[in-house]
Each structure stands twice: as C-alpha cells, then as structure tokens.
Chains A and B, each alone.
Chain A
Amino acid sequence: MFSYEVACQDTTLQGSQLIVEDVPVIVYCSQCRKEQTLESVQLFQCPECGTPTMDIRQGKELEVFALEVQE
C-alpha cells in the first residue's frame, strides 16, 4: 500500500510489510436460524433461502490485529 510505505519512511518501520486480511460478511438468517456468509455486500439476503437480513455478525471490523516483530 503506497500510503503505508510513505508513512514508514525514515522510521523503524521502514521496510516492514502491511498485510491486510479481509474477513467475509457474516449475517444471521432468522429463517434458517444460523449464521450465513454473504456472497456479496450488494445483496443482504440469506444465500440459502433468500430471506433479507440486516443482522450483521461479522465484517464491519477495522482492527490492528497483530504485529510480527524481530529484535
């Protein structure tokens, strides 16, 4: 990512690597009574039965999850 490289220039993080992990959007389907993975964020409905749902259980996160460091 261009901005990451620029931000790291001349700091101890220079040369480090930024790994972005996308997580799928998971919703709860009240019809199937279970969590389902959305196929597209343009279609908020259960991929199995087609019931519309807005009960989002995962996919809105924006977290710094971990650092891998070497001393």
Chain B
Amino acid sequence: MSEPRLVEVRRNVLKQNDVIARALREQFRAAGVFVVSLVSSPGSGKTTFLEKTLTQLQPRYRVAALVGDLATENDAVRLARSKAPVKQITTGTLCHLEAAMVQSALQEWELHQLDFLFIENVGNLVCPSSYDLGENLRLVLMSVTEGEDKPLKYPTIFNSADVAVISKNELADAVDFDWDAARNSIESVRPGMQIFRLSAKTGQGMDEYLTFLSRQLELQRAVMQP
C-alpha cells in the first residue's frame, strides 16, 4: 500500500442547485416577473396569507403561485379560490423545494404574462434556507403564536430572508405577544430587516405590505428600462 495521498476537490455541494437558480433568476428577469418565495414553520399561516395576497393583488396585477408540500393538493385547492393560476409541487419525502422543481413546474407557463409569481415553500425553518430558488425576494413568515425568540432558534432562515412578516396579529393580545422582543430577535440575526406586522384574516396591515410589493415590482422594472 502506498502512502495516503490528498486530492483537493473544493466543490460546492449545492452547485447544481445554484446553477439552476441562476438560470431561473435570469429567466424571471427577462420575463419581467417579480418572484417572491415564502418560508415559515408549518402552521404559521402561509396559505391564508398567500390567498389574501393573490386576491388583493389581482385587480391590478397578473399573479400566479407555486405551492410546495410533501403530500396533498389541499393548499393548491385553497389558493385556487383566488382565481389565480396555481400549481402544486408535491415533494414526496423531501422537506424543501429545490430550483430544479421550480424549473420543471414552470415549463408550460408563459412567465412574461405575469407580474408576480409567488412560491410557497414546504413548511420548514431549516432546509429551505440553503436552496436558492432564483427568487427576487425571500419572505419569512412568523405567527404571533410561535414565540418571540423563533428567529434566535432558527437564525439561518431569518438571515437568508429579505423581509419578515409577523402574521396572525389578531391573536397578539390573546397570547401576550411581545412585539419589542420579536423585533429585537429579528434585528439580532438579520440587522436592518424590514418587518410587516399584519393579520391576513382581518386585513389589518395588508395594505402597507402590498404597497411594498408594488414598489418592488416598479423598482425591478425601472432597472430593466434600456
């Protein structure tokens, strides 16, 4: 037996995903569609929030959604009530979406006919943080019932996101939600992050967030002007 030999590899394990995500981002840019991905723990209200988002954007914008779950088409059925085009991605045993799944789900879609595309990830605060989906904006949702220190427990997902939404605000008083503590937790793991506090159920706080989205689309299109 010869002496052990060291072979340097230096290969990014997630390179394949990053390559596809980059292609998707370019595809989205060329089509002029603004893509928002949603991450959160299971049960934080992603689907209700997304249903309201789709419904309220619809009069002014062309919107669509992809929704990831391990099993069932329940979320796609719920979101279809908004009348927006919706497609379910069933991941089977996989706990997150990958760029290739998004790419294949979008194959038959005319992206240039859309203003906003929303991608609802599988409810999970761990694995989705490592997978770039080519989105323009990653939104992390946290409900008031989850505890103010959630960002400290799952710092990576909050750090990888661009904006935070505190959902189910109509329950804040009932669960003694400490807004300052939650804000400090987020600020600690993701300094400068914009936070929206809202209730998808009552509609409180939705306007500010929807205005923010419209502004993001305008900014993206302004950059694209020749």
Contacts and interface: CB of A to CB of B under 8 A. Distances in A.
Interface of A: 41-45, 52-54, 61-71
Contact of A66 (B2, B6, B156): B6
Interface in B1-50: 1-14
Given A66-B6, A66-B8, 19 more contacts: A41-B155, A41-B159, A42-B189, A44-B191, A52-B191, A54-B192, A62-B14, A62-B130, A63-B10, A65-B9, A66-B10, A67-B7, A68-B6, A68-B7, A69-B4, A70-B1, A70-B2, A70-B3, A71-B2
A63 B191 contact: no
B195 to A, nearest CB: 14
B188 interface: yes
B7 A42 contact: no
A53 B156 CA distance: 15
Interface residues of B, number: 25
B5 A62 contact: no
A59 B23 CA distance: 24
A19 to B, nearest CB: 12
Contacts of A66: 6-10
Main secondary structure of the interface of B (DSSP, over half): mixed
28 contacts: A41-B155, A41-B156, A41-B189, A42-B152, A42-B155, A43-B188, A44-B159, A44-B191, A45-B191, A54-B191, A54-B192, A62-B14, A62-B130, A63-B12, A63-B13, A64-B11, A64-B13, A65-B8, A65-B9, A65-B10, A66-B7, A67-B9, A68-B5, A68-B7, A70-B1, A70-B3, A70-B4, A70-B5
Nearest to A52: B191
Interface in B134-175: 152, 155-156, 159
